[in-house]
Amino acid sequence: MKKHNFSAGPCILPQEVLKKASDSILNFNGEDLSLIEISHRSKSFVEVMDKAINLVKELLHLPKGYAVLFLQGGASMQFLMTAYNLMKVDGKAAYLDTGTWSSKALKEAKLFGEVDVLASSKDKGYNYIPKNYTVPSDANYMHVTSNNTIFGTQLKAFPKTDGLLVCDMSSDIFSRKIDFTQFDLIYAGAQKNMGPAGATLVIVKDEILGKTGRQIPSMLDYQVHIGKDSMFNTPPVFAVYTSMLTLQWLNDLGGISAIEKRNEEKAALLYAEIDSNPAFVGFAAKEDRSLMNITFNLTEQSNQEKFDKLCNEAGINGLKGHRSVGGYRASMYNALPLESVQVLVNEMKKI
């Protein structure tokens, strides 16, 4: 039975990527060895890493001066690494609190210095993006989360700052056109639009590093990883390879402009149903709605059993909302076809 995978992450990946990834486990590159049993320093794997890094630079139109890293530990490790590498001794950082992940990020930063929470939408259960705040000029950096997976909100514009701008882009990188050069550091767990869990993308301007006065353990030091081309220690070979395949797929498709168009179409279709069908109500403020994670609920909870059954019979997977919001969440990452959204909308029409 064909499944329609709306999982929030780990999430759907392109079928052709899954096929190639599966093949590589048995015989990589026609070498009669598995991808996961060859040396990460072999010519074939070094080529994979180089290709992945170059695809990131190409897809995001990154100019010289940005280093691209594939690390481990997920965005959660970046919560502390960004602070460790950028917050000066006795320094201060500014955070925008737009949800669970922002909130976890700033909690870790507090171990390294003063954290100034410029604005928070916690008062309304994180259903909007705060907009009126001033970035203090003495902050070592400003940190934002571009898309809030759990609540279904997304930053449409980013703050202007005189200092450094850091962005957790885990759940919407490679999904929409943005001027990526407005950021000094971007990080993203792979497991949404890029690949399987286990790799973390970090994009960082070389020139901002090494200025904190801190001694940083090697594995947490961006400069160490840059110096070794993401091979300071054994990289997560399979996750990097599968990410490379997904980036290649996106590039072949026409890059971010092409996927943005598709993502807008998919989101428009579902939001239109939510707004026109009295059986459903959206969670996020309209102007801040995410194109990636669409949160909604039934207006009558008595319809729940019926709707869940319909979804189940239609092969819809991963629609349950996060426990902190409840209701439903349709995650519509790059690899989700429009057809799957159409199937969901058809079931919604039956309520």
Calpha distance 123→125 (Å, rounded): 6
Report DSSP state, residue 289: B
Instruction: Give the CA count within 13 Å in the CB-facing half-sphere of 178.
Output: 20
With respect to a second copy, which residue has the nearer C-beta, 115 or 178?
115
- Does residue number 103 form part of the binding site for a second copy (CB under 8 A)? no
259: closest CA among 336, 331, 319, 182?
A: 336
Whether 168 and 145 have beta carbons less than 8 Å apart is answered as yes
Q: By CB under 8 A, what part of segment 37-56 binds a second copy?
A: 37-40
- Residue that has been written with the tokens 């056109």 in this structure: 177
Given its phi and psi angles, is residue 55 left (phi above 0), alpha (psi -120 to 50 degrees) or beta? alpha
Calpha distance 194→174 (Å, rounded): 8
Query: How many residues are there in the chain?
Result: 351
Binding a second copy (rule: CB under 8 A), the pick from 318, 337, 343, 351 is 318
Rounded least distance, CB 65 to a second copy, Å: 27
3-state secondary structure of 69: strand
Parallel, antiparallel or unpaired: strands 153-154 and 147-148? antiparallel
- Does residue number 12 form part of the binding site for a second copy (CB under 8 A)? yes
Annotated active-site residue 168? The verdict is yes
- Does residue number 108 form part of the binding site for a second copy (CB under 8 A)? yes
With respect to a second copy, which residue has the nearer C-beta, 127 or 171?
171
With respect to a second copy, which residue has the nearer C-beta, 163 or 195?
195
Site string for a second copy, 78-97 (x = CB under 8 A): -xx-----------------
- Does residue number 3 form part of the binding site for a second copy (CB under 8 A)? yes
Residues whose CB falls within 8 Å of the CB of residue 15, separated by 6 or more in sequence, listed in order: none
With respect to a second copy, which residue has the nearer C-beta, 127 or 191?
191
36: closest CA among 199, 247, 236, 200?
A: 236
Give me 9's structure tokens.
């992450």
248: closest CA among 59, 71, 23?
A: 59
With respect to a second copy, which residue has the nearer C-beta, 62 or 316?
316
Binding a second copy (rule: CB under 8 A), the pick from 29, 44, 54, 72 is 72
Binding a second copy (rule: CB under 8 A), the pick from 19, 61, 177, 350 is 19
Rounded least distance, CB 195 to a second copy, Å: 8
With respect to a second copy, which residue has the nearer C-beta, 40 or 306?
40
Instruction: Give the CA count within 13 Å in the CB-facing half-sphere of 14.
Output: 19
- Does residue number 256 form part of the binding site for a second copy (CB under 8 A)? no
- Does residue number 152 form part of the binding site for a second copy (CB under 8 A)? no
Binding a second copy (rule: CB under 8 A), the pick from 62, 75, 173, 311 is 75
> Quick one: which segment of 54-62, 68-76, 158-166, 250-258 binds a second copy (CB under 8 A)?
68-76
Rounded least distance, CB 109 to a second copy, Å: 10
With respect to a second copy, which residue has the nearer C-beta, 9 or 327?
9
Whether 95 and 109 have beta carbons less than 8 Å apart is answered as yes
Rounded least distance, CB 339 to a second copy, Å: 16
Q: By CB under 8 A, what part of segment 213-252 binds a second copy?
A: 215, 217-220, 232-239, 242
What is the Rg, in whole angstroms, of the alpha carbon atoms belonging to the chain?
Answer: 21
Crossing angle of helices 255-276 and 338-349, in 10° steps, is 0
Binding-site ranges for a second copy (CB under 8 A)? 1-3, 5, 7-13, 18-19, 21-23, 25-26, 31-34, 36-40, 72-77, 79-80, 104, 107-108, 111, 189, 191, 195-199, 215, 217-220, 232-239, 242, 317-318
Which residues are annotated as catalytic?
A: 101, 168, 192
